Structure formats: structure tokens, C-alpha cells
Amino acid sequence: MPRSRTPAAGPTLIAVLGDQLSLNLSSLQIADRSRDVVVMAEVADEASYVRHHKKKIAFLFSAMRHFAAELQASGWQVRYVRLDDKTNGGSLTSEVARMARQLKATGVVVTEPGEWRVREMIGTWESATGLPVRIVPDDRFIASRDEFASWAEGRKSLRMEYFYREMRRKTGLLRDGDEPEGGRWNFDSENRKPAKSDLFIPEPLRFAPDAITRDVLDLVSERFSNHFGDLEPFWFAVTRHDAEKQLRHFLKTGLAQFGDYQDAMLLSEPFLYHSILSLYINCGLIDPLDLCRRVETEYREGRAPLNAAEGFIRQIIGWREYVRGIYWLKMPAYVNGNYLSATRPLPDFYWTGETDMACLKAAIGQTKTEAYAHHIQRLMVTGNFALLCGFDPKQVHEWYLAVYADAYEWVELPNTVGMSLFADGGLLGSKPYAASGNYINKMSDYCGTCRYDVKKRTGAGACPFNALYWDFLDRNADKLAGNPRMTQMYATWRRMAKSDQDAVRRDARTFLDALTPWTA
Ligand code: FAD
Ligand code: DLZ
Ligand code: SF4
């Protein structure tokens, strides 16, 4: 039976998870820093349940260590368990239970975790510790889970756009009285310019590793050498102070052009005008609403145009909040979605980067070196290719969860299974984001360097995306041909000569059969 607290009893244990590095975290708000003890733990289970990119583990461990120091500096007692502590039991549960015993704690408090898997685990903590466990809502999001569920209740369609308008109303961001600033809620149609490499494109700030980070890099290099990606050079910010510097750098050098070139891709420019802030926002070093208010100020004071400010704010109070709402509304079933019955194994080059398709080589190569790719690379290159080829959504999901420094299941899963693979049958998007090589050619400079010919549909040297695109439509006609937003594409397919259709099917089959499945 859980014990109840008595006035003279021991401390409450405040368990702070790796993505809860916020000084105003809800669990800390209700704790007493003169009595209670914060517990943080680097654990093997969390670091290896997928083959996380080495940079992702190093980033999070270093950010956790710096956060523990920040808490101590502001008067908190912190018990920090390092991965290489001899007594580390290897799981969050083992460490919470061990610390609870050591501290003679009388209860455990934790802010609700971001992931279903971890929520299930926390459900076992009362029996593991013999103590009452209080789970408090995570108020770092604009919409609570209940609020999202009420918004979704009874709606036939859960489109992001309508939810986003609610969030604009709630926050008051970019409002002109009762109307949206500029007379429209959404300026996306202005945000589709291809970029040229002769533009001035800012680089993200690069931070030299300090002694704490160097220790972590040694640890990761020793313990996770079989994980994906390059560990060094390591330049992410690992403190709130440095994350704030990157934020200010983005406001000054990237935001004004963010909208125009949001969908562009360039071989020599992995970051373009993107903010490179998701990893800091998701682990709690940057507050998303504060960031949006500062983006609005840039617009109001004439330093950024409306299409940039609105486009950026929409990604955060729209997409980011919306995918979190969908995740908690639809889990645990959501992870099993496979509307298009896709079963092909992920090919080895997603892990090695060795392919002669220039677009995939660039997106995966950059993912290996930086643990980063921007949204259109994730959606329209690796995601689009996975959709067209019919890769197993679970394998694709595990790949995205592993390879990006910003990846946590609550945000990654809906983007992968829903937005990218249409495996949820259209809950998130009204049609699949399927595209031929033509889209990639329009939005990037990849094709000019590729051994394939983007203008050729079939035959020797033809861009594989082309046959795969039409073959995808053909293979999935029973599920997609009735979609009103796909009528035109299916009309084009049906008008194609039988011999051309046969060539598409033949080339797609030959290409797919030649892929080498990944074997771990
Ligand atoms: P910017 O382009 O500068 O955008 C600003 C911010 O908006 C981001 O920092 C992020 O917080 C937010 N944002 C933008 N798009 C989205 C979106 N679709 N969903 C949620 N937030 C968004 N984002 C993650 O944070 N973690 C993930 O694991 C993740 N997995 C993805 C998987 C797939 C298949 C796809 C298509 C997208 C995924 N995204 C994910 C969304 C998006 O690609 C990243 O948020 C973005 O690329 C991060 O880079 P940035 O900070 O430079 O973003
Ligand atoms: C992603 C991650 C990693 C790599 N390591 C840890 C860890 O050692 N300790 C920890 O508390 N959290 C870690 N995380 C984050 C968790 O896997 C998970 O995403 C969050 O706890 C969900 O809120
Ligand atoms: Fe990618 Fe095709 Fe362009 Fe090559 S030609 S870069 S495979 S879209």
C-alpha cells in the first residue's frame, strides 16, 4: 500500500525526464525546494530502445547534466544518475525506485511524459516504489490534452487549419482585433519559392563543447558506437543560455526569409533559413509560446514580413500542438496504422546513406552528419520515397525516431505515420504527400547533380521517383482513386497509353526488387 505523507516525513522525489529541462516545469512548481529532491537519470533503456543518433544521445545527456547544475545553482537538491554509475539499474523505473529508497521518500511527483511508452512505465511506479505517484499535466503546451480532445469531439474531420485558428484566438497571436492579421489566417501559398545558392544564407551558431559535453562525448563514443550517425563535430547548444543565443540568431538572420524559402532544398545548404530550434524546444530549453511572441514582435516592428512570421508561428502553435493532440487522442492504436498495407522492409541505404539518388543521398547524408534535416527533406524526400515504395510504416517510424536530434514519439509518429505515409488513412492529411521527381527538381538543385534523369519517366537512367509515383497510384487505386483531391492524377494515369503504364509497372517492380533490405 502506498504510504501517505506525514508532516515530519522524508522528501518527495521529483522525477525530471530528459525532455523536461524547463525551470518552470509543472512538477517543480508544486515542489518545495527546501525539502524535496529532484532525480534525473541517464539510463540505458531510454538511450537504446531505438538506435538513436549518437548526437541525439550526446545532446540530451549533456543538456540534462547542465540542467541539473542549473537547478542546483538555484537551490534545488538534485540526485543525478550518470549512465556509467556502477549502481545504475538501467531504467527510469529502477532509478526512481532506488532513489526513493535511498532518500526515504514519501511520494513521487512527475510531469506527464511526452510518450505513451513512458506513461505506461510510470503506471508501474507505485508498485515499484510502494509510494503514491502524482502525475501532473505538462503545461508547456498551449492546448492541454483535454482541450484538444474537446476540440476533436464530434468533428468529422480533424484538419490542422481549424485547430490552428483556435490557437491563434487563444493566444492572441497575429490578431487584428477579431480578425487575423493581414486579413487571412494562412499565408502558405506565398511560401513556396525555390532557393538559389547565391542567396545569402545564414549558418546556425556552432557551440564548442565544454568539459561536461566532452565527458559525454567520450561516454557516447564508448557506449553507443554501434548507433547511427556521426558524433563529431558536435556543436549543438546544451544550455538554456546558448539555446537562447541560437534563437536570437535566427530572429536576426533567418526569420525574414523563413517563409519564402521554407520548402526549398539546396545541396550545399542543409539549414537554409530554418531555425534549428526544434531540439531545444522539445527538450524544454526554449519555451514555444515565448518564441512565437518574439517572432510576432519581429513582424510588428518591421523586421520580418507577415508571411514569414505567420508561417513560423503556424508551425509551432498549429502543427506542433496539433500533432501532440492527435498523438494522445489516438494512441496506442495509432502506431499500428497501415492504411495502405505497406510491408516492404526499409532498405539498407536509409542507415548507410549509400545510394546514387542525389536527393536521398543529400537528405540521409546530412541526417548522418547533423542529426538534422529540414521539414521538406523529411517529408518530400525520405518520406515521399518511403510512401511511394511502400515501406513498412513501423520501420519508417523507428528510423525517424532514431535519426533526428529533435525526435520524440509524440511529435515524430504523427508526422511519419500520418503526414508522410498516409498510414492513418487520412486523419492528418486529406491526401498523401506523394510526388514524382518533378517536385524535387522544382524545389531543389539536387537533380542537376544526379546520375538519373528527372525528365525521364521510364527506361534506362530514368529518375526512380517517376515510375514509382505512377506505380504507387496504380497499386493503391482501390484506396485512393475515390479521393476528390486525387481525381486529376488518376485521370492522367488513365489517359496514359497502355504500353506506358506497363513500362511504369515493370520499371517500378525492377527497382523495388533490387532494393537491399536492412538487416540490423
Ligand atoms: P523550422 O522549419 O525552423 O520550424 C520551426 C519550428 O516549428 C520547429 O522547430 C518545430 O518546433 C515546429 N515544427 C515545424 N513543423 C512541424 C511539424 N510538422 N510538426 C511539429 N512541429 C513542427 N519535428 C520534431 O520536432 N520532431 C520530430 O521527431 C519530427 N519528425 C518528423 C518526421 C517527419 C516524417 C516529418 C515530415 C516531419 C517531422 N518533424 C519533426 C517536423 C519538422 O520536420 C521539424 O520540426 C523541423 O524540421 C525541425 O527543424 P527546425 O527547428 O529548423 O524547424
Ligand atoms: C530520448 C532519451 C534518451 C536518449 N535518454 C534519456 C535518459 O537517459 N533519461 C531520460 O530521462 N530520458 C531520456 N530520453 C527521453 C525519453 O526517452 C522520453 O522521450 C521522455 O522521457 C518522454 O517524456
Ligand atoms: Fe532525386 Fe530523381 Fe532528382 Fe535524382 S533525378 S535527385 S533521384 S528526384
d(CA 291, CA 335) in angstroms, rounded, equals 30
Is the Cβ atom of 113 under 6 angstroms away from ligand 2?
yes
**Among the listed residues 186, 151, 182, the one whose alpha carbon sits nearest the alpha carbon of residue 166:** 151
Q: Is 440 in the pocket of ligand 3 (CB under 6 A)?
A: yes
Residue whose CA is at the smallest distance from ligand 1 atom 19: 320
Cis geometry, peptide bond prior to residue 464 (ω within 30 degrees of 0): no
- Whose atoms come closest to the Cα of 57: which ligand? 2
The CB of 454 under 6 Å from ligand 3? The reply is: yes
**Residue having the nearest C-alpha atom to atom 6 of ligand 2:** 46
Per DSSP, 243 falls in state H
CA-atom Rg of the chain in angstroms: 24
498-513 and 464-475 helices, crossing angle to 10°: 110
Residue whose CA is at the smallest distance from ligand 2 atom 4: 47
Is the peptide bond preceding residue 332 cis, with omega within 30 degrees of 0? yes
Residues having CB within 6 Å of any atom of ligand 1: 274-278, 281-282, 312, 315-316, 319-320, 323, 374-375, 378-379, 383, 400, 404, 406-407, 411-412, 415-416, 419-420
Dist. CA 270 → ligand 3 center (Å): 17
Distance 78 CA to ligand 3 centre (A): 51
79 Cα to the center of ligand 2, angstroms: 16
Which residue(s) pair with 77 in the sheet?
Answer: 37
87-139 residue pLDDT tens: 999 999 999 999 999 999 999 999 999 999 999 999 999 999 999 999 999 99
| Domains defined along the chain, listed by start | 12-136 (3.40.50.620), 145-202+254-330 (1.25.40.80), 349-514 (1.10.579.10)
**pLDDT tens over the chain, length 520 residues:** 344 444 457 999 999 999 999 999 999 999 999 999 999 999 999 999 999 999 999 999 999 999 999 999 999 999 999 999 999 999 999 999 999 999 999 999 999 999 999 999 999 999 999 999 999 999 999 999 999 999 999 998 899 999 999 999 999 999 999 899 999 999 988 887 888 777 788 999 999 999 999 999 999 999 999 999 999 999 999 999 999 999 999 999 999 999 999 999 999 999 999 999 999 999 999 999 999 999 999 999 999 999 999 999 999 999 999 999 999 999 999 999 999 999 999 999 999 999 999 999 999 999 999 999 999 999 999 999 999 999 999 999 999 999 999 999 999 999 999 999 999 999 999 999 999 999 999 999 999 999 999 999 999 999 999 999 999 999 999 999 999 999 999 999 999 999 999 999 999 999 999 999 998 7
